[in-house]
Amino acid sequence: MNKNLAAIYQSVVEGESSQTAKKVQEALDEGINAEVILNEGMVSAMSEVGRLFEQGEYFVPEMLISARAMQEGLSVLKPALAKAEVRSTGKVVIGTVNGDLHDIGKNLVGMMLEGAAFEVIDLGTDVPPERFVEAIKTNGAQIVAISALLTTTMNNMKGVIQAICAAGLRKNVKIIVGGAPLSADFAQSIGADGYSADASKAVALAKSLIA
């Protein structure tokens, strides 16, 4: 691997934000293709971060630090990606359901998805069903990711799915859900396409649903 690509990979895995941005710029200055920088330097690094998390060597704080480093590099890389017309893996609308203000898990999933080259439209927290519907229409998203952390708000996810169905958009999107009180059985009961227990698995799930 090219030394700059190797340095980008390592800096993302180790969560070194400033180093990641610096090495991305150096790789661009060297003339390395933006898509190569994205895939070999950053996407592969976030895959390794996900592996480390699943093996119990990394925890949520380490994942967040690596994801932020990736975002710093991505902010440098995005103009070159746009100029090269590099296609994203897919578009994801993500938000925490109405009545719920928790966002750490949602933010981590969003960053991990960006690290896998998805275009992420983050609606924030306390998002009513109609905003999810509007975001799908506006952005042409293929995936909707809904988060909840409370047992008192998790049932509001069903309202989001019902609104998407009522708008005639259900056949256009895959819906994934996540959050501490959820389960695969709950996801199935409300009509979601999938459930993920953590951010790393959410990326794999999203990829499988649009493959």
Residue ending a domain, among 83, 114, 145, is 83
Mean pLDDT along residues 181-186: 96
What stretch of H or E contains 24? helix 17-29
Same domain, 56 and 73: yes
Whether 66 shows a pLDDT value over 90: the answer reads yes
For 84-98, the pLDDT digits (tens) are: 888 888 999 999 999
Provide the pairing of β-strand 119-122 with 194-196. unpaired
Structure tokens that stand for 168 in this block = 């005639």
Same domain, 123 and 187: yes
Looking at the structure, do residues 40 and 68 belong to the same domain, yes or no? yes
Domain range spanning residue 141? 91-210
Same domain, residue pair 117 and 76 = no
Q: What average pLDDT does range 196-206 have in this prediction?
A: 91
Distance CA 190, CA 100 (A): 18
pTM equals 0.84
Residues 120 and 145 in one domain: yes
What is the CATH classification number for the domain harbouring 12? 1.10.1240.10
Q: Decide if pLDDT at 32 tops 90.
A: yes
Which residues make beta-bridge pairs with 96? 147
Residues 194 and 97 in one domain: yes
Structure letter (DSSP) for residue 127: B
